[in-house]
Amino acid sequence: MASYKKSVDLMDGDVMIYIIASSKTDVWQVRFKNPLPTGSHYVRKSTQHRNQASATRFALDLYNEYSARKNLGFSTGSMTLGFAVDRFKNEFDKVSKTNLLRNYKSYWLQYFGDKDIARWTGDYIHEYFVWRVKNKKSITNSNLWDSSGGRSVSVSTLNLERNLLRRLLTFCKGSGVLLKVPAFPRNFNGFDNTHSLPDNKRRSRMDAATYKNIVEPYLDNIQDSLINPEWVPQLRNLDLLMDLTSQGGTNLYESRLRRKQREDPSRSTHKIWCHKQKRYNKALFWFFSTLILKCGIRPSEASKLKNRDIQLKKDEKTGRYFTVVNIPSTVSKVRKHRQAICIDFSYSYEKSVRFFAEKMYRFNRLPSPDDWLFPSTSKADLYDGRMKDYRSVMRANFQKMGIHTQTEESTGIKTFFSSYSLRSYYISMMLRKGIDLYTLSKFVGASPETILKTYDVNENWFLREKMVSHLSKDVSEFSTEGRAHLDKFASDWD
């Protein structure tokens, strides 16, 4: 029989804390019957405390942790990260869940393996992130985006991963299967081979010259090509009315390439504009980009719109027609309903009509108000589902224009051009045109603070523009005459 200097029964004798008689440090130990079906008959562990109150708290937390694991169906006293991911993945929102699973498959599984998360320490997690930086390439996909050309890892990427992992362990603690969440690194800027960009430089930005000289002509060319009568799809039988009641209709639209193959193989056709899928992908890029450029809607929000959300409104005071994009709360990222007004008046609505025709050609379906604005092209949910893989279509066209990536001059870090770059351009241009920050924030669904921090404008620039504009209203007492000599002292105010 063991002899103790001290012993205390807890939980009506189910748990005991004690100090072994031979102990020189007087550290309390804990013992209780193992409630799990495998493992030793008793759980014995040091509380690492000399203070009885602290030892009692540790012992009860450990006992409750084992009891919780029993209730969750554990067969052993350990819990792997894989089990935690599977158990709590649905507690995350959709985007976070996707990132959680991607990090688990790419990095966490290899490093953490089956080690019990209860045995993790702050040092162990710190060592993981050191390893993570050194092994920056994805284990499952070597073609993932690499902004630094193999030289470093973005601090923002590490922050995101840290927050996901810490939140996962917090869920474990909240359910009682983990005693405490270990410490995580607070700042990755001091890690070797990491880089950090300002918030408004993390995506490639489009300036006015790029838009005017590259993007706008590219979109105009798509529009001109879509309305070229030589390339517009035709009904199979031109002498009959269309019958698009279903995919099995009697008189459907077909591409000019299909008609060529069926009627006249020697006829000249365009490889893109006379091809059903390629033509539609261009039309998709054209209208998707136009919508973002003209009203600043988030790409993720645009992809969830219905046909009825594109509306034409007449302003009674001016007599002008405006395209209004309705963004329901179920679609809005911030879960608040809003309406965005397109800056090109009625033209975006007219372009939507053109796009509706392109959808009719592609799917042989008459669009209804409740149909998706950007329907799916996959076989599993053709037309009836919404387009989820718009990014690949957008990326292919950005690459075609040669603007897919940019290199930040001061750091040499590459940033990528995406659909959000179009939104950034809209917001930046609206600020430069003088729209007040509050009004803009309401239309784009972002706080003024986020706009100043994230988009291609900073707070100093914005406030400087406001002050210069205000001071320039009355400059009669401050003539610029006779001050040319100051040019050699002044620099451009970027």
Given pLDDT bands bounded at 50, 70 and 90, which one contains residue 463?
low
Q: Would you state the pLDDT for residue 145?
A: 45
- For residue 457, pLDDT beyond 60: no
**Mean pLDDT in residue range 305-334:** 94
Low-confidence winner among 210-214, 259-263, 406-410 (lowest mean pLDDT)? 406-410
Q: Would you state the pLDDT for residue 387?
A: 92
State the greatest distance between any 2 C-alpha atoms of the chain, in Å, as a whole number.
Answer: 103
- 20, 30 contact by CB (below 8 A): no
- Would the CA dihedral through 31, 33, 34, 38 be positive or negative? positive
**Mean pLDDT in residue range 138-146:** 44
Q: Would you state the pLDDT for residue 150?
A: 52
Given pLDDT bands bounded at 50, 70 and 90, which one contains residue 474?
low
- 214, 472 contact by CB (below 8 A): no
Q: Would you state the pLDDT for residue 138?
A: 45
Q: Would you state the pLDDT for residue 77?
A: 59
Q: Would you state the pLDDT for residue 126?
A: 96
pLDDT digits (tens, 9 = 90+) for 37-87: 877 889 999 999 999 999 999 999 888 888 877 776 665 556 789 989 999
Given pLDDT bands bounded at 50, 70 and 90, which one contains residue 417?
confident
**Mean pLDDT in residue range 194-223:** 84
Please tell me which of 72-81, 351-360, 445-454 the model is most confident about, judged by mean pLDDT.
351-360
Q: Would you state the pLDDT for residue 480?
A: 61
Q: Would you state the pLDDT for residue 73?
A: 67
- 441, 448 contact by CB (below 8 A): yes
Q: How far is it, in rounded angstroms, from Cα 412 to Cα 408? A: 5
How far is residue 222 from each of residues 218, 231, 284, 329, measured CA to CA in Å? 6, 12, 10, 32
How far is residue 196 from each of residues 32, 131, 161, 260, 411, measured CA to CA in Å? 49, 19, 15, 54, 9
- For residue 477, pLDDT beyond 70: no
Q: Would you state the pLDDT for residue 482?
A: 63
Cβ burial, residue 242 (10 Å; 0-12/13-18/19+): middle
- For residue 144, pLDDT beyond 50: no
Low-confidence winner among 127-136, 217-226, 283-292, 407-416 (lowest mean pLDDT)? 407-416
What's the pTM? Answer: 0.69
Exposure letters 188-227 (e unless 16+ CB within 10 A, then b):
beebeebbbbeebbbbbbbeeebbeeebeebbeebeebbe
Q: Which tokens is 265 given?
A: 């193989």
Residue with tokens 């019990």: 116
- 296, 444 contact by CB (below 8 A): yes
**Mean pLDDT in residue range 107-118:** 91
Element (H, E) at 356: helix 347-363
Phi and psi, residue 235, nearest 5°: -65, 150
Given pLDDT bands bounded at 50, 70 and 90, which one contains residue 142?
very low
Given pLDDT bands bounded at 50, 70 and 90, which one contains residue 450?
confident
